[in-house]
Each structure stands twice: as C-alpha cells, then as structure tokens.
Amino acid sequence: MFDVAVFGSLFLTLFVIMDPPGITPIFLALTSGRPAKVQKRMAFQAVCVAGGVITVFGLLGHQILDYLHVSVPALMIAGGLLLLLIALDLLTGKTDEPKQTKDVNVALVPLGMPLLAGPGAIVSVILAVQKADSTTTQVSVWAAILAIHVVLWLVMRYSLLIIRVIKDGGVVLVTRLAGMMLSAIAVQQIINGVTQVIQGA
C-alpha cells in the first residue's frame, strides 16, 4: 500500500522547491525581535498554512484556477512580485521597525504563502495528484506532502537556536542576506512566469 518511488520522487521535488535549508535565514529575518515562544508558534503556523494551501490545491487545484480564469504563469508572476516587495523591505531594513514586524503575522504571508506554498510547489502537487491513478500512489503522494511539511517545521523550529549564537548583529546580517536571496528568488519566479507566457503565446 506504499510506492517508495512515487514518495521519493515527489519528496525530493518538493524539497528542492520549498528548500528547507534556504528558508532558515528568511524565517530568522522575518521573525527576529519576537519572543522565542512566538517564533515557535509562527513556525508551526507557517507550516499549517502551507499545508492547508497545498492540500486545497492538490484536491481542487485545476478547478480553482479554471474558475478564477488564472493561469499558472500568472500565479508565478503574482507570487514573484509579492516576494519582491518583502525582499525590498528586508534589504532596506524597514522590517526592523516595531510597528511593521510585531503587528503583522508573517507566518501567513509571506512564509506560509508564497514562500513555502508557492506556485512551484502548488503545480508539482497538482500534477502528482493527477498522475496518482491508484490508492497506493495516492497514499504515497500525500505521505510525501506530509513528510516535507514535517521537515520544514523541524528546520524552522530548531533554527531559533541560531539566534542565541549570532545575537542581534548577526540577525541584521542574516536579514540583509535573506533580502538578497529572496529578491533573487522573486525575480527568477517572475522570469519563469513571463517565459511561460511567451512560450504559450
């Protein structure tokens, strides 16, 4: 009742797309300045949001996009623009202002979506669920989805230990680096979306 090949293939695909190691500095930057208890809760919330979005699109993905008349490239471009706005805030230091960081739950946006549950992950899950033509493969697909979310939660949950070592100065450095990384991810996502639009024209 379990297909190891299907599980491994989807898990590796989602690992590359959702990038648990790469999300660590971004998570630390976006949640800096908050109590450890709040940061742990936000790690769990981000994974729950991502899991919820992935599950909904896995079950109803094509119907939702068709109903809204939204193409996958449009989803990619919109997600990229949203990430770029967040990246610019990180690079300019605006997220260091208490009003902006403490009143906004970054676990929902941008962590939960579109960083974790981004267009790439959503499309991969939609395709994997469509190809799963038996109970065994369906179980394997959903097991892979669950496994990657457990990994993401563990990585973010225990990345908080890094803050104790690098202190405030290190957090500022990590924030700037995260902004650079996030801006590159955002621009690449926009490029991919525009490329698909051009190829489909």
Is pLDDT above 80 for 178? Answer: no
Task: Give the global pTM.
Answer: 0.76
Q: Over the stretch 62-92, which tens digit does the pLDDT of each residue have?
A: 898 889 898 878 888 888 888 888 788 778 8
Q: Give tens-digit pLDDT for 30-61.
A: 888 888 899 999 999 999 999 999 999 999 98
pLDDT of amino acid 99: 39
pLDDT at 197 over 80: yes
172 has a pLDDT exceeding 80: no
Question: In the block, which residue shows the tokens 């669920």?
Answer: 129
Kindly report whether the peptide bond that precedes residue 110 is cis, defined as omega within 30 degrees of 0: yes
Q: How high is the pLDDT of residue 96?
A: 46
